[in-house]
Amino acid sequence: MSNQHTYKQALDLKGNVNTFCVLRSDGACLPFDKHNTDYQQFRIDLVNGATLNDTSGNPITGDALTTFISTLP
């Protein structure tokens, strides 16, 4: 059994996709901070095939995932 997490985009207080953090499957909110070790692991997990879901829980794949990754700090 894999211990790799899944991730989900979060909403900000205005109901928009949060551009400052992502939610991990264990409930942690990971800030997009290149010095944060959990964020570093999130980036590694994405490259290695971890699932990133949109705010509705649908997997983000293909070009949309590539675009998302390219916007990360």
Torsion angles phi and psi, residue 37, rounded to 5: -65, -30
Tokens of 9: 């985009």
pLDDT at 1: 37
Mean pLDDT within 33-62 = 94
> Who's near 38: CB < 8 A, 6+ residues apart?
24, 28, 30
Give the up-direction half-sphere exposure of residue 63: CA atoms within 13 A in the CB hemisphere.
0
Region 53-66: mean pLDDT is 93
pTM, full prediction: 0.84
Mean pLDDT of 5-29: 93
| Average pLDDT for 38-52 | 93
Name the helix (H) or strand (E) containing 7.
strand 7-11
